[in-house]
DNA sequence: CGCCCTTATCGTTTATCGACGATGAACGAA
DNA sequence: TTCGTTCATCGTCGATAAACGATAAGGGCG
């Protein structure tokens, strides 16, 4: 259970930066995949973007296929599946009753 | 659009720590809600847990209703809705074609 | 071979996070 | 009012993350 918490938190960490969200959105709406155009889209230095791509890749959210001298990045939607499942789990609360402090013991 | 990226990244940041995932899970499976039992459950200092609860609350993922001297924490599943929607968006790729570098221009 | 383009890596600086103990505020009970 | 309990806040420290420029690595082309 704790390792699952770790996995979810790792995915959360991968999403914990606006630039990475932007990159994911960009890859989603891009017909195929693009290379250094990401750099221009996010408005950060090339090395910084490369680092974000590395983080996303290591989190399993994107793929990077070598296509000649460039790299073809593409989404890997399955990577977010555990996080989606977690959110779905939380979305179904069993009960909403608030526990009233019964200091006056009953039994 | 950029503000939306911000919102998603804020939610991601709130999930970017195993202790916070654990807290959310704990609140989910708890019939009502508990107070300082969270401290015992996550195995961290009280002040640290309080800080995690503050982060979760400021992200809109939990509620904290005052119940006498204690605080009654409860999940707020709607808080994760934007993130869930985002994941759902990424889950429906329009195309998977990888862009082939056509340095040999055509047309 | 030498050149250019694209991407990754290195090293550094700055900012943020995570954790803790100690302290303070709010409340019920005695 | 005084005490004990519960939770939040403050200050501090080490660790991690983010950003940049500079530099190297890989591959196509003349």
pLDDT, tens only, B46-82: 999 999 999 999 999 999 988 878 899 999 989 999 9
* pLDDT in the model for residue A68: 75
CA–C1' gap, A48 and C11, in angstroms: 14
pLDDT bracket for residue B102 (50, 70, 90): very low
Instruction: Give me the residue from B9, B75, B101 closest to A93, CB to CB.
Output: B75
Instruction: Provide the whole-model pTM.
Output: 0.86
pLDDT category of residue A32 using cuts at 50, 70 and 90: low
- Quote the pLDDT of residue B70: 87
CB contact under 8 A, B65 and A29: no
Tell which CATH architecture fits domain B9-79.
Answer: Orthogonal Bundle (1.10)
From the list A12, A93, A98, the residue facing B72 with the nearest CB is: A98
Contacts of A57 (CB under 8 A, 6+ apart): A63, A64
Each domain of chain A, given as residue ranges in start order, spans 7-84
Answer for the pair B21, B15: CB distance below 8 angstroms, yes or no. Answer: yes
Asked whether the predicted pLDDT for residue B104 surpasses 60, the reply is no
Does position B42 have pLDDT exceeding 80, yes or no? yes
| A44-CA/C2-C1' distance, Å | 31
Considering only the top CATH level, what class is A7-84? mainly alpha
E strand or H helix that includes residue A73:
strand A70-75
């Amino acid at each position: 259970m704790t390792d699952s918490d770790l996995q979810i938190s790792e995915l959360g960490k991968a999403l914990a930066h606006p630039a990475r969200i932007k990159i994911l959105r960009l890859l989603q709406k891009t017909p195929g995949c693009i290379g250094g155009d990401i750099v221009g889209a996010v408005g950060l230095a090339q090395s910084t973007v490369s680092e974000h791509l590395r983080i996303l890749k290591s989190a399993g959210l994107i793929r990077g296929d070598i296509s000649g001298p460039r790299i073809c990045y593409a989404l890997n939607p399955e990577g977010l599946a555990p996080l989606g499942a977690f959110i779905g789990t939380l979305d179904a609360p069993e009960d909403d009753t608030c526990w009233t402090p019964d200091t006056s013991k009953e039994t």
